[in-house]
Chains A and B, each alone.
Chain A
């Protein structure tokens, strides 16, 4: 029962975040909102990965002094390590995206995607 509740809340939240993020990226007209949408979708994906690595009743995969030698269930450490990498990469992409938005704003004096149309969209 508890496990199912956790499953639905984790998977559900992750998928909801992914879809909200994708929707914002596709439908919004403001460049800043598009970038925010990308970040939200990324967070959803990271949460999904973490949820996949969860093991029932598992603790953090750290062998601190209290845990050593005891038979403790630990969650899968690989998703956590990969999510760390994915977060940093997502951050880097967001930073570059924001700087592009700032430059477009400076150049066109607007952040609306409809008004920036020197190239075909």
Chain B
């Protein structure tokens, strides 16, 4: 059997159905199998990515033997493939972290946790790989249902409340997306994204505008766009730590992918770009200012995450090749760095009930390794050289300067100062205060340390040699902007 993109979905599904059975044989298998699956997905990512880059193509796989537009197809293009590879590798690293996490949880719950976590990652991979708009909706729901359940995982927290809030807002998002799909189908009579993109010029502009706004609102909720992001801080705070990392690293990125795929490939309406940029600027400015006022560590990280997503939207809204390149670079950086911050931050406030930042006073001496990695992540996310975050911010500023958006540059710089203030405040507490709180500290397990260390090494290496990854991202940006190539590659599959 040759390696093909459908294995990204099929292998985790078999594993998910098997885990309850293996759980009856051996409790440890429940924890191990998801790791093996994610390792295998990382392996096929390397193989497929290599193939796509070296042959300068995109892999389009048809399913059930019907070529597009009649059947569903998966598209492993430089852009979607890049994100799918990122998700599977990051997923493997986060799995490594969870392997010894919360051993005291009951076996029945552990099993469910791992099934849901694996399917959460698979759902996000499905969203980026699929070439069919309704199929994307199905994967969005797979992601959403796992996410709701995982948010409510801990009974001792207010998880159920956050999850209900998330479910309510998420249902609105899927309602709008489904309504948009229904209206789109009534206009073009097809669901394949390449086919829709091809037939889009015939649709009357008013209809087009309404459908695009519905997609914009729906995916905007998933992408934490202002003012539709009220759910995010609660969800990040109440969900288990590693799940917060998955939300920030993958689920939101999948939402952004949906948004830009719809805007750039399906509609290609340039009037939406200023709106995207304005929403991005507002999202960024508002959430970074709110982050400044947060007393709880994870809420602060959540608002910082929303702010970074705003910056991604700004970059996509500029719309030039350089800006799209910078946006994808920032998506990559944010996924890695924010995961590191969530993973290390979880251990910093492990036994703290309120998860307040003031509980961190002087923790740098008792947890030197974790604190050091958290500090490294903080420096990287605010964009200081020589870390990875510096390059993406620089590229965004350069792209904005190219099209003379002076106001946007000023706002980005001002917001960066705010970011520096609140991250350094936390670092100040960690390193320059005396420890007074009596909260027990938790030493990370060995595998958790390894997984955080890998992320930290990635951040430093990309910071020093950005060229290692910029080639891939360059190709991804070209792929996203080249709509005609996408349409042709998909619709010519199976025509011999």
Contact = CB atoms under 8 A, between A and B. Distances in A.
Interface of A: 25, 31, 34, 38, 41-42, 45, 48-49, 52, 78-79, 82, 85-86, 89, 92-93, 96-97, 100-101, 103-104, 107, 116, 118-121
B148 A96 contact: yes
B160 A45 contact: no
B141 A31 contact: no
Given A79-B185, A82-B134, A45 B179 contact: yes
Interface in B260-289: none
B145 A119 contact: no
Nearest to A31: B164
Contacts of B152: 100, 103
13 contacts: A31-B164, A38-B171, A82-B191, A92-B145, A93-B144, A93-B167, A96-B148, A97-B171, A100-B148, A100-B167, A103-B155, A119-B158, A119-B238
Contacts of A52: 182, 185-186
Contacts of B224: none
Contacts of A100: 148, 152, 160, 163-164, 167
A97 B164 contact: yes
B22 to A, nearest CB: 24
Contacts of A49: 182, 185
Nearest to B157: A118
B43 interface: no
Interface string B138-152: 100100110011001
Interface of B: 134, 138, 141, 144-145, 148-149, 152, 155, 158, 160-165, 167-168, 171-172, 174-175, 178-179, 182, 185-186, 191, 234, 238
Given A89-B138, A100-B152, A103-B160, A121 B165 contact: yes
Contacts, number: 74
A101 B164 contact: yes
B158 A118 contact: yes
Closest 4 CB pairs of A and B: A118-B158, A103-B160, A100-B164, A52-B186
A52 B161 CA distance: 37
Contacts of B174: 89, 93
Q: Which of B158, B168, B234 has the most CB of A within 10 A?
A: B168
Contacts of B186: 52
A79 B185 CA distance: 9
Contacts of B145: 92-93, 96
Given A89-B174, A92-B145, 19 more contacts: A25-B172, A38-B168, A45-B175, A52-B185, A52-B186, A82-B185, A85-B134, A92-B141, A93-B171, A100-B148, A100-B152, A100-B163, A100-B164, A101-B164, A103-B152, A103-B155, A103-B160, A116-B161, A120-B234
Contact of B168 (A25, A45, A48, A82): A25
Q: Which of A38, A49, A96, A100 has the most CB of B within 10 A?
A: A100
Contacts of A92: 141, 145
A107 B182 contact: no
A74 to B, nearest CB: 15
A107 B160 contact: yes
A118 B165 CA distance: 12
Contacts of A45: 175, 178-179, 182
Contacts of B191: 78, 82
Contacts of B138: 85, 89
Contacts of A93: 141, 144-145, 167, 171, 174
A96 B172 CA distance: 15
B171 A119 contact: no
A116 B161 CA distance: 8
A10 to B, nearest CB: 13
Given A34-B168, A92-B145, A93-B145, A86 B178 contact: yes
B165 A96 contact: no
A51 to B, nearest CB: 10
A56 B167 CA distance: 38
B160 A42 contact: no
Nearest to A104: B160
B175 A42 contact: yes
Nearest to A38: B171
Contacts of A42: 175
B165 A119 contact: yes
B185 A78 contact: yes
Nearest to A107: B160
Q: Which of A31, A52, A93, A107 has the most CB of B within 10 A?
A: A93
Contacts of B238: 119
A78 B138 CA distance: 15
Nearest to B176: A45
Nearest to A39: B171
A49 to B, nearest CB: 5
